[in-house]
Amino acid sequence: MMAVFLPRELDCQSCTEYQKKARGCKEDSPTGFMFNDEVLKRCPVKLITPETVAMIKLYRISKNFTTLPFSGGIALQPAKLVQALDHIENCINLHQREEFEKIKNKRK
């Protein structure tokens, strides 16, 4: 899920050498750092493969243009693609529910 919602401050080009060490860019962080209420030893950006980025782009294009990536219906799409798009959609829905609950709880 983190690949879909990575904050902009985890942009590798903007990290200083100190931040790269603290966030575990090249090796485990000596202290760990907080990300989405979890302590991580490695930068989450390093966990995202080019294939993951491609799947997220395909999801966004498919969603924005209301079309499937390949010609034909859902049954003609590669199974791996359908699973990935479904997983991304589930992650987004979960994130939106969590954000809604945060807002709802603040109003109480």
Question: Over the stretch 45-100, which tens digit does the pLDDT of each residue have?
Answer: 877 788 888 898 899 999 999 999 999 999 999 999 999 999 999 988 988 898 89
Its pTM surpasses 0.95: no
Residue 108: inside a domain, yes or no?
yes
Give me the number of domains the chain comprises: 2
Query: In Å, what is the CA distance from 22 to each residue of 45, 97, 107?
Result: 14, 31, 36
Instruction: Tell me if 26 sits within 8 A of 14, measured CB to CB.
Output: no
Residue 8: inside a domain, yes or no?
no
Are both 39 and 65 inside the same structural domain?
A: no
Residue 76: inside a domain, yes or no?
yes
Question: Over the stretch 1-24, which tens digit does the pLDDT of each residue have?
Answer: 555 556 556 677 888 888 888 888
Residue 4: inside a domain, yes or no?
no
Are both 41 and 83 inside the same structural domain?
A: no
What domain range is 21 assigned to? 13-47
pLDDT at residue 23 in the model: 84
Are both 53 and 82 inside the same structural domain?
A: yes
pLDDT at residue 67 in the model: 92
Are both 70 and 17 inside the same structural domain?
A: no
pLDDT at residue 8 in the model: 58
Residue of higher predicted confidence among 43 and 75: 75
- Of the candidates 47, 65, 66, 68, the one whose C-alpha atom is nearest the C-alpha of residue 4 is 47
